[in-house]
Amino acid sequence: MEIFTKELAYQLIDDVLDFTSTTTTLGKGSLSDIRHGIVTAPILYAMEEFPQLREVVDRGFDNPADVELALDYLGRSRGIHRTRELAAKHASLASAAINSLPKNDDEDVQKSRRALVDITHRVITRTK
């Protein structure tokens, strides 16, 4: 289970970074998901706050004005914040699953577990 929650946390942060990072930082085009018509968690959360955003999403994002309108709604929403919160929740679940494994005194096992917990933290604090 911890692998799936870690991966979900990673993807959620990737969705946030698509809106908040630059092309140089990401190594891919920022806003690439929305420009390809992919609706991710931040936009879904923004649609909860601004139901009128649904019309824009339904039209797709072929028109640059629709991209700008969606970004405006996103900027006024808590979509980015809520997506980060959801990622943190999944990272916490992953860490808890790792920590709930049976005790083991083997130094390598302990080191591996610490590394896995560290990775879950890095997933949600990464910037690219």
52-102 pLDDT, tens digit per residue, is 999 999 998 889 999 999 999 999 999 999 999 999 999 999 899 898 999
pTM of the entire predicted model: 0.86
Q: Domain range spanning residue 83?
A: 2-125
Q: pLDDT of 99-114, one tens digit each?
A: 899 999 999 999 999 9
The label of the residue with tokens 């072929």 reads 62
Read off the DSSP letter of residue 61: S
Q: What is the number of residues in the chain?
A: 128
> In this structure, what CATH number is given to the domain that contains residue 44?
1.10.600.10
pLDDT of 72 reads 94
- Count up the domains in the chain and report the number: 1
Contacts of 29 (CB under 8 A, 6+ apart): 23, 35
- The mean predicted confidence, pLDDT, of the chain is 88
Torsion angles phi and psi, residue 78, rounded to 5: -100, 20
Percent of the chain clearing pLDDT 70 (strictly above): 91
The Cα 79–Cα 43 span in angstroms is 6
